[in-house]
């Protein structure tokens, strides 16, 4: 846990996004919208709610909330709110876990 | 025109500011806070060790930055002395401030049971960012923590402090984790998850006293009602929260468990509103972020001239115990019905149905937390 915790919020963390996302179940990423699937999957990111810690993973989406797997953060509607605490998109930050 | 005055700079106060400024850029707003006025998120106080965040790192903005970003005045370290609802005036120690509308975003106090012993004054509670900073400081270089209370905050801190490398002792008189929120098998799953992290439970007894160690006065000894003596470096009380209703009650506002409001968050006094942990909205006291955010949005509209009642949909509570994740949608008090519980290892899916067979609450642990949204769709709104 502590190694993981140390990486968390590391200033260089963003450069690790691509490899981590590629490792995670590559077959599951279905990608709507523009961009070739491979390119899009390669840049899948995670976003954390700064208020409650909820994680939005672009690769997994939120199918139960009507957001397909592979939906990029930018493509989530502006009026979407955090399912755990109800804050808006502006209260999320990109993270690497 | 007199300003809108908001008392409190926690999530309720600052989110009201933020939502209001989306609708009204001009009306003067003054935020009064007894704290240092830094903007932070209280739920993050119980994941600080896991994420290795100091108090300074959890602060998202200084009061000056909040003031500039939202074009408001933030007065820090101000202890409100009273409210004169007839004159629409907030009384300050050496001053007063007249309001057009007043928002009470006072939060809640931690409640600590009566304890004896010569080290009672050293028992911590972590209720705001300043507390958190002192708590982190006290833990520097230390090893062992005793937590009083195995509810939401107690369990979250037990997980977080274990992640941070501390040995945790947890005392819970009701005999299991999260006793007020979960049915027994789900409590057991959380208990096993935390035990695997190394948490040592003391289920059943109450804490009676906290003393300085006889041989080593730097150590604290927590004495339990069953005679057990727990030695640790730090003691954290996480028993419960009580809505702050004092100044509201003194000002003649109607209070019960919280400051009473209608569905538009109006208190019993004209132009005085309440939201967040201090409020009792149509009988609901919900010290969680989801209802708070819904309230801040509705209140912002009301303050901007469009009276708007708040709606509470389904209000699930996520408990940040990654050793065994938990989501619970509490069963309404005194509702009759039965739990239907499926269990496999630390994955528990518990659904509560009323006498008519309708789903009215649930508790999910482990992998079952993924079913949250599916179950939410089956549940009635808490306050439509």
Average pLDDT, stretch B328-350?
95
pLDDT tens digits, one per residue of B62-93: 999 999 999 999 999 999 999 999 999 999 99
The whole-angstrom separation of Cα A25 and Cα B120 is 52
Instruction: Calculate mean pLDDT across residues B155-178.
Output: 98
Place of tokens 């303050």: B303
- Inform me whether the pLDDT recorded for A97 exceeds 60: no
Closest CB to A86: pick one of B43, B60, B294: B294
Rg of the Cα trace of chain A? 13
The pLDDT-based confidence of B376 (bands split at 50, 70, 90) is: very high
Say yes or no for a CB contact (<8 Å) between B289 and A5. Answer: no
Residue among B165, B289, B373 whose CB faces A52 most closely:
B289
Q: Is residue A34 over pLDDT 70?
A: no
Interval B91-126: pLDDT, tens: 999 999 999 999 999 999 999 889 999 999 999 999
Indicate which of A63, A82, A84, A91 best probes the interface with B, i.e. most B CBs within 10 Å of its own CB: A84
Tell me: pLDDT of B55 over 50.
yes
Distance CA B175, CA B187 (A): 10
Q: Rounded to whole angstroms, how far apart are CA atoms B97 and B88?
A: 9
Q: How confident is the model at residue B333 (pLDDT cuts 50, 70, 90)?
A: confident
- Name the nearest CA neighbour of A53 among B318, B371, B353: B318
Please answer whether residues B180 and B269 qualify as being in contact, where contact means their C-beta atoms are separated by less than 8 angstroms. Answer: no
Residues B74 and B63: beta-carbon distance below 8 Å: yes
Does A24 score more than 70 pLDDT?
no
pLDDT digits (tens, 9 = 90+) for B221-270: 999 999 999 999 999 999 989 999 999 999 999 999 999 999 999 999 99
pLDDT score for B112: 86
pLDDT at A32: 47
Angle at which helix B184-197 crosses helix B152-163, to 10 degrees, equals 20
Please indicate, yes or no, whether the overall pTM of this predicted structure exceeds 0.90. Answer: no
List residues of chain A with CB under 8 Å from any CB of chain B.
Answer: 1-2, 5-6, 8-9, 50-54, 62, 64-65, 81, 83-87
Judge contact between B322 and B366, C-beta under 8 A. Answer: no
Confidence band (pLDDT; 50, 70, 90) for B315?
very high
- Tell me what pLDDT residue A64 has: 82
Q: How far is B45 from chain A (nearest CA, A)?
A: 10
- Which residues of chain A lie closer than 8 angstroms to B294, CB-CB? 86
% chain B with pLDDT above 70: 100
The answer to whether B188 and B350 have CB atoms below 8 angstroms apart is no
The total of other beta-carbon atoms located within 10 Å of residue B369's CB is: 19
Residue A96: per-residue pLDDT: 63
A39: left (phi over 0), alpha (psi -120 to 50) or beta: alpha
Query: Does any CB of chain A come closer than 8 Å to the CB of residue B51?
Result: yes
Interstrand relation of B326-329 and B359-365 (parallel, antiparallel or unpaired): antiparallel
Q: Tokens for B78?
A: 């101000």
Q: What is the mean pLDDT of residues A30-47?
A: 60
C-beta separation of B271 from B88 below 8 A: yes
The answer to whether the Cβ–Cβ distance between B163 and A1 falls below 8 Å is yes
pLDDT for position A14: 35
Residues of B in contact with A62 (CB under 8 A): 373
Q: Enumerate residues 160 to 219 of chain B having a beta carbon within 8 A of any beta carbon in chain A.
A: 163, 165
The pLDDT value recorded for residue B107 is 98
The verdict on a CB contact (< 8 Å) between B50 and A5 is: yes
**Residues of chain B neighbouring A86 (CB-CB closer than 8 A):** 289-290, 292-294
Residue B112, exposed/middle/buried by CB under 10 A (0-12, 13-18, 19+)? middle
Distance from the A32 Cα atom to the nearest Cα atom in chain B, whole angstroms = 22
Is B382 at the interface with chain A, CB within 8 A? no
Q: Which of B251, B294, B256, B249 is nearest to B275 (CA)?
A: B294
Interfacial B residues in 354-373 facing A (CB < 8 Å): 372-373
Which residue bears the tokens 């009083």? B148
Q: Which residue from A9, A64, A86 is facing B289, i.e. has the nearest CB?
A: A86
Q: Beta strand pairing status for B89-92 and B82-84?
A: antiparallel
User: How far apart, in Å, do the first and last CA atoms of chain A sit?
Assistant: 11
Confidence of residue A22 (pLDDT cuts 50, 70, 90): very low
The residue that leads in pLDDT, B349 or A94, is B349
Q: What is the pLDDT of residue B275?
A: 98
| CB-count burial class (<10 Å; 0-12, 13-18, 19+) for B7 | buried
Would the pLDDT of A8 be above 80?
no
| Closest chain A CA to residue B39 | A51
Q: Which two tokens stand for residue B101?
A: 């509308």
CB of A58 within 8 A of CB of A45?
yes
What digits encode the pLDDT tens for the residues A41-52?
Answer: 567 899 999 999
CA neighbor of B134 nearest in space, from B117, B146, B150, B122: B122
For residue B54, the SS3 value is: coil
């Amino acid at each position: 846990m502590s190694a993981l915790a140390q990486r968390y919020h590391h200033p260089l963390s963003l450069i690790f996004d691509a490899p981590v996302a590629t490792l995670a179940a590559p077959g599951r990423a279905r990608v709507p919208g523009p961009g070739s699937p491979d390119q899009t999957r390669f840049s899948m990111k995670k976003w954390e709610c700064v208020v409650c810690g909820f994680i939005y993973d672009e690769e997994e989406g939120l199918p139960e909330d009507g957001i397909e797997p592979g939906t990029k953060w930018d493509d989530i509607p502006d009026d979407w709110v955090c399912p755990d605490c109800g804050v808006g998109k502006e209260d999320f930050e990109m993270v690497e876990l | 025109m007199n300003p809108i005055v908001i008392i409190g700079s926690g999530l309720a106060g600052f989110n009201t500011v933020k939502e209001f400024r989306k609708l009204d850029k001009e009306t003067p707003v003054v935020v009064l806070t007894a704290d240092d006025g830094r903007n932070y998120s209280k739920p993050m106080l119980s994941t600080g060790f896991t994420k290795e965040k100091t108090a300074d790192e959890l602060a998202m903005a200084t009061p000056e930055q909040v003031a500039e970003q939202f074009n408001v005045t933030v007065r820090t370290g101000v202890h409100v002395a009273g409210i004169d609802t007839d004159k629409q005036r907030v009384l300050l120690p050496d001053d007063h401030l007249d309001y057009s509308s007043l928002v009470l975003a006072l939060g809640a106090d931690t409640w600590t049971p009566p304890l004896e012993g010569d080290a009672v004054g050293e028992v911590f509670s972590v209720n705001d960012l300043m507390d958190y900073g002192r708590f982190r400081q006290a833990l520097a270089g230390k090893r062992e923590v005793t937590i009083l209370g195995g509810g939401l905050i107690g369990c979250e801190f037990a997980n977080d402090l274990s992640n941070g490398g501390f040995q945790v002792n947890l005392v819970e008189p009701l005999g299991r984790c999260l006793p007020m929120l979960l049915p027994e098998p789900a409590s057991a799953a959380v208990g096993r998850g935390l035990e695997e992290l190394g948490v040592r439970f003391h289920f059943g007894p109450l804490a009676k006293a906290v003393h300085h160690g006889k041989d080593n006065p730097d150590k604290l000894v927590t004495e339990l009602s069953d005679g057990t003596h727990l030695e640790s470096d730090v003691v954290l009380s996480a028993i419960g929260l009580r809505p702050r209703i004092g100044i509201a009650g003194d000002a003649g506002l109607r209070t019960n468990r919280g400051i009473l409001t209608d569905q538009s968050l109006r208190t019993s006094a004209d132009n005085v509103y309440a939201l967040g942990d201090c409020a009792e909205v149509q009988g609901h006291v919900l010290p969680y972020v989801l209802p708070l955010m819904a309230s801040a949005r509705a209140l912002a509209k009301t303050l901007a001239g469009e009276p708007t009642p708040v709606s509470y949909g389904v209000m699930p509570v996520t408990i940040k115990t990654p050793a065994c994740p938990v989501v619970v949608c509490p069963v309404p008090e005194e509702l009759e019905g039965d739990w239907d519980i499926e269990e496999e290892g630390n994955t528990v899916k518990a659904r509560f149905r009323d006498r008519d067979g309708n789903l009215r609450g649930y508790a999910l642990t482990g992998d079952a937390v993924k079913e949250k949204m599916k179950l939410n769709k089956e549940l009635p709104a808490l306050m439509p």
